[in-house]
Structure 1
């Protein structure tokens, strides 16, 4: 499992790109790749939990979604996670 931590700025580009991004996350959720995703309560960032075998797969997922290259969206961290409860 992987955790992707995002940091946001309130840019119009980010807000315009968000619906398509959420559609992509929903499709990946249906496939079992995205386990959880959502913004922080203060909308300064978000967390995405991915069920991916390796960092290369995570990087490919991020590269396939233009949202992650949008002004106002920064990927702060990509961390491998080993949950003991699911």
Structure 2
């Protein structure tokens, strides 16, 4: 199943995102439990975050992003999406999730 790396750049600082953070965190936990979100976290020294998803295709990923509370709340200034094919390391060797 394809993996996607997504970079969020924010238009507000961390304090400006606090209103949406509980819903954002809950959404990420839900996606993790479903095997869709593989990794997520802030980019050190930047007003940005990186997230790695596993989705059937770019259209499915877009549906996932459309429900992201930070995006719906208007605090994401931009997203950069890259489809990624890891070839080495534990992610490359790990089992793929089943179709949901």
| Smaller-chain TM-score bracket | 0.7 to 0.9
Q: Which residue does 1:25 correspond to in 2? A: 28
Q: Which residue does 2:64 correspond to in 1? A: 61
Structure 1 residues 25-84: Cα deviation after superposition (integer angstroms, max 9, x where no partner): 111111110000011122510000000111101100011123113333223311111111
The 3 A distance-change label for structure 1 pair 11 and 32 is closer
The 3 A distance-change label for structure 1 pair 69 and 58 is same
Instruction: Give the TM-score normalised by structure 1.
Output: 0.86
User: Moved runs in structure 1, 4+ residues, more than 3 A?
Assistant: none
DSSP-derived class of the 2:45 partner: coil
Larger radius of gyration: 2
RMSD (Å), alpha carbons: 1.7
Task: Tell which deviates more after alignment, 69-78 or 51-60.
Answer: 69-78
Contact 1:11 1:72 in 2 (8 A): no
Q: Which residue does 1:15 correspond to in 2? A: 18
Q: Which residue does 2:98 correspond to in 1? A: none
Contact 1:14 1:71 in 2 (8 A): no
How many equivalent residue pairs?
86
The 3 A distance-change label for structure 1 pair 54 and 32 is same
1:14: how far off? 2.0
Instruction: Give the TM-score normalised by structure 2.
Output: 0.76
Residues of 2 paired with 1:36 and 1:59: CA distance?
17
